[in-house]
Amino acid sequence: MSDYSPVDVSSTRLFRLAQTRRQPPTAAPAPNGTGSRQRDDSERCDLCATPIAPTHRHLLNVSERRLVCACPACATLFPGRNAGGHQYRLIPDRVRRLEDVELNDVAWAELAIPVDIAFFFQDTAAGRTVALYPSAVGVTESRLSLDTWGAIAMRSPTIASLEPDVEALLVNRTRGAREEWAVPIDRCYRLAGLIRQHWKGLGGGDEVWKHVEAFFDELRGARRA
């Protein structure tokens, strides 16, 4: 039996950004009382406080599993797996469609994940592979059967090529899809934020599934690019 523990994605930076970017900047009164000016809601680098573009790189604080926004200059300080004394890792920006993952319906059922989207990554701090899935209440962790996951990973060599902590195997089985992707971990949390933000009622509603499909269309476009 799987052991589930919820993780509140609404407190993550990516969920807040997903909400903020869909709202226009708030107009505030000008200092002299005439006209208006735009409130400064610009993102800033978490390391040096430099203003950064809405689209920017992220670092991962490995021990806290926390995302950190980084300007281009700070991102170059953490290029490899061992940079920053293992505290920070630069999250890659590559997107790959994996064709050799043998994850049929039987194997998926054995993983005991109750929804049709999940992502898996090697958590070096915990010393194991972690499985998370998004839902209307946040991100939930499912403890994997080591035997089942080991068999899947052994049959799929590209799983071993994923960078620990910062790159995930994202599985999409929604509405008949059968897709496996190697994606940056921040994209997984972004997807989780979209699902929580737009979920309505018991089944999610049409809007949330439009956002999910748009997310995977974006992955397909990134892969072609």
> Which two three-digit tokens encode residue 208?
């949330």
- The pLDDT score that the predictor gives to residue 17 is 41
Alpha carbon distance 97, 137 (integer Å): 28
Tens-digit pLDDT profile for residues 24-51:
333 333 334 444 444 456 789 999 999 9
Cβ density class 86-106: b for 16+ within 10 Å, e for less: eebbbbbeebbebeebebeee
Q: Backbone phi, then psi, for 30, in 5-degree steps?
A: -70, 155
List Cα–Cα distances, 5 to 139, 143, 161, in angstroms. Answer: 9, 9, 27
Residue-wise pLDDT tens digits, 61-97: 988 888 999 999 999 888 666 544 568 899 999 999 9
Does this model's pTM top 0.75? My answer is yes
Does 133 have pLDDT greater than 50? yes
Average pLDDT, the chain: 80
State yes or no: pLDDT of 4 exceeds 70. Answer: no
